[in-house]
Amino acid sequence: MIASSASGDRGQAFPIYIMVVGLLLFVAFALFAFAQAASARSGGQSAADASALAAAQESRDELTDNFFRDIANPAMWLIWLTGEGPVANGAGSATALANQNDSNLIGGPNMGLSSKGFATRSVEIETRFTVGDSVIPGTENKHAKAKATAVIEPRCIIGPESDPTKLVFVHCKDGMVWTIDPKKIVEFPGLLPEPKDLFSVHLVK
């Protein structure tokens, strides 16, 4: 009788064991699916960040070029150095960076202003890659979407001692003072501030 009871207990316990193992496997696969989704979202956000930065940098470069073009015209100095001058939205660079990150640009770059009044470029992307197969239905066709905004923050001002007929003095936040001769600007390109010297480009969190 004792042997028979023990055998019966083992027989009853086996289905429960199978059920528990199955449940644990399902939980493991579900957690893996969530990890896949998190990875896809992270990849999408990286693509959006890169696209927004690229758009802002393209616009920053154009602002810098226009500033040097109009260096002899004091009325245009602030328009370009504050980032308020009319320039392109940087769509070409944004699209290129989205492509490099296996994503499509589906929104923007939109031009706007940050809380401090600085020019911004905002984008939205959708990844070409999906979350992948998992125990959760539909993930094999699920693409991640992400948004990002980059700001073009001015770093320099024109010194009051500037004279467009003689010398223009550009004072920057790092303490650097650039001395530019409007008449010789083409002759000494290596002595001119670069776009990164005049503007800081960073993501808005």
Q: Are strands 168-172 and 177-180 parallel, antiparallel or unpaired?
A: antiparallel
At residue 158, the pLDDT reads 96
The CA distance from 186 to 51, in Å, is 32
- Backbone φ and ψ of 34, nearest 5°: -65, -35
AA letter at 128: R
At residue 28, the pLDDT reads 55
At residue 10, the pLDDT reads 56
The CA distance from 67 to 185, in Å, is 11
- Regions of the chain with pLDDT less than 50: 1-2, 135
CB within 8 A of 45, min separation 6: which ones? 146, 148
Name the average pLDDT for the chain. Answer: 84
3-class SS of residue 25: helix
AA letter at 28: A
The CA distance from 152 to 139, in Å, is 37
The CA distance from 98 to 107, in Å, is 11
At residue 135, the pLDDT reads 47
The token pair that represents 128 in the structure block: 């070409």
Quickly list H helices, the chain.
2-69, 74-81, 91-100, 195-198
CB within 8 A of 31, min separation 6: which ones? none
The CA distance from 49 to 42, in Å, is 10
The CA distance from 17 to 22, in Å, is 9
Strand partners, 179: 169
Contact 83, 138 (CB under 8 A): no
The CA distance from 160 to 171, in Å, is 10
